Amino acid sequence: MGSWGALMTLKPSFEECQKIGAEFEQLRRTMLDLYVKASNMFGSTVLSDMRKAITNVEMSIGKMDSKVFKCYPDRESSERLDVFYPLNKK
């Protein structure tokens, strides 16, 4: 079995990684925006669990990013980095 874990037997294409990376970036941004808005209304103490969830999403993104770097050594570093940490921010 490859480095992708027990549930995944085939390495996803680089394009599939890019798609999931874009979805995770959108999720992360949405969560951060909601956190800022809600913490301004209710205080950051009330939203400490949400901050933990955001941290967990960011940690997962980091782990997936590491997998992309290991599994696609033939790609330029900037191209691999752009999967989960887009250089062209929208």
Note the pLDDT tens digit of each residue in 31-81: 999 999 999 999 999 999 999 999 999 999 999 999 998 999 998 888 888
For residue 32, tell me if it sits in a domain. yes
For residue 20, tell me if it sits in a domain. no
| Straight-line distance from the first to the last Cα atom of the chain, in angstroms, rounded to the nearest whole number | 37
* Domain span at 72: 27-84
For residue 21, tell me if it sits in a domain. no
For residue 37, tell me if it sits in a domain. yes
For residue 1, tell me if it sits in a domain. no
| DSSP secondary structure string for all residues of 10-47 | SPPPHHHHHHHHHHHHHHHHHHHHHHHHHHHHH-TTTT
Q: What total number of domains does the chain contain?
A: 1
For residue 6, tell me if it sits in a domain. no
pTM of the model: 0.79
What is the spatial distance between Cα 67 and Cα 42, in angstroms, rounded to a whole number? 37
